[in-house]
């Protein structure tokens, strides 16, 4: 079978697929002939994403669920609920979804579950140490799921709407600092990152691996 036909007729379910990288994955999957189901906490975003897919949009902007924590700093007093809830935002959605798929036999052999993490477990940022814990947990459980869910494959993996929650000057500062350091010379687009997910879904010999798509940020 041609590599361009591997996703044709397959169903791709995106949890957190109504914006950013998730939306770009949906567009790419449709382009490759897959049918796409989008789940999100925002019904308005889901509807907007569906309308975009109907138009066959090519504009640059799976489990991409999560939230941007804002400005982070290590707590000097009590560890607040925002930190304690980070496992609920990053770790448990993946584990719960994987267990539901496995328990109810919702995926055919050879199907795959692709999760999304940042690079903070490899290169911690100041003030992010408590958040890098659940990120590292997702990376670890991804490998474990590859063994426990056999023959379902577990895969781990940008300027997206998630940064729109930040004040303009903070967002601009983050992006400008990255432009100066990134070896690729630009801030990543969701459509660029989405290509890694398409590869992961199509490469049936890939299992339990972390694919780093960061423009080379962990190198500098």
| Cβ pair 216, 182 in contact under 8 A | yes
What is the CATH topology of the domain spanning 62-219? Rossmann fold (3.40.50)
Whole-angstrom distance, CA of residue 206 vs CA of residue 208: 7
pLDDT digits (tens, 9 = 90+) for 93-145: 889 999 998 999 888 888 889 888 877 777 777 777 777 888 889 889 998 99
Highest mean pLDDT among 74-83, 108-117, 176-185: 108-117
Helices within 117-189 (DSSP H only): 129-148, 168-181
Q: What is the mean pLDDT of residues 199-212?
A: 89
* Domain extents in the chain: 62-219
Return mean pLDDT, the chain. 78
How far apart are alpha carbons 111 and 52 in whole angstroms? 26
Cβ-contact 15, 4 below 8 angstroms: no
Classify strands 112-115 and 35-39 as parallel, antiparallel or unpaired.
unpaired
Q: What percent of the chain has pLDDT over 90?
A: 6
Q: Judge whether residue 57 has pLDDT over 50.
A: no
């Amino acid at each position: 079978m041609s590599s361009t036909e591997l996703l044709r007729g397959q169903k791709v379910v995106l949890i957190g697929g109504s914006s950013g990288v998730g939306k770009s994955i949906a567009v790419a999957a449709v382009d490759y002939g897959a049918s796409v189901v989008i789940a999100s906490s925002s019904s308005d975003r889901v509807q907007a994403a569906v309308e975009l897919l109907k138009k066959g949009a090519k504009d640059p902007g799976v489990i991409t669920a999560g939230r941007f924590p804002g400005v982070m700093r290590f707590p000097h007093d009590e560890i607040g609920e925002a930190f304690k809830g980070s496992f609920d935002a990053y770790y448990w959605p993946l584990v719960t979804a994987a267990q539901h798929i496995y328990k109810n036999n919702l995926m055919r052999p050879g199907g795959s579950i692709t999760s999304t993490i940042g690079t903070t477990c490899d290169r911690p940022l100041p003030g992010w140490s408590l958040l890098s814990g659940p990120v590292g947990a997702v990376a670890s459980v991804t490998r474990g799921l590859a063994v426990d869910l056999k023959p379902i494959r577990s895969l781990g993996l940008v300027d997206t709407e998630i940064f729109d929650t930040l004040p303009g000057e903070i967002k601009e500062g983050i992006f400008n600092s990255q432009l100066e350091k990134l070896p690729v010379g630009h801030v990543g687009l969701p459509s660029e990152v989405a290509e890694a997910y398409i590869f992961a879904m199509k490469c049936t010999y890939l299992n339990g691996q972390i694919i780093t798509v960061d423009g080379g940020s962990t190198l500098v």
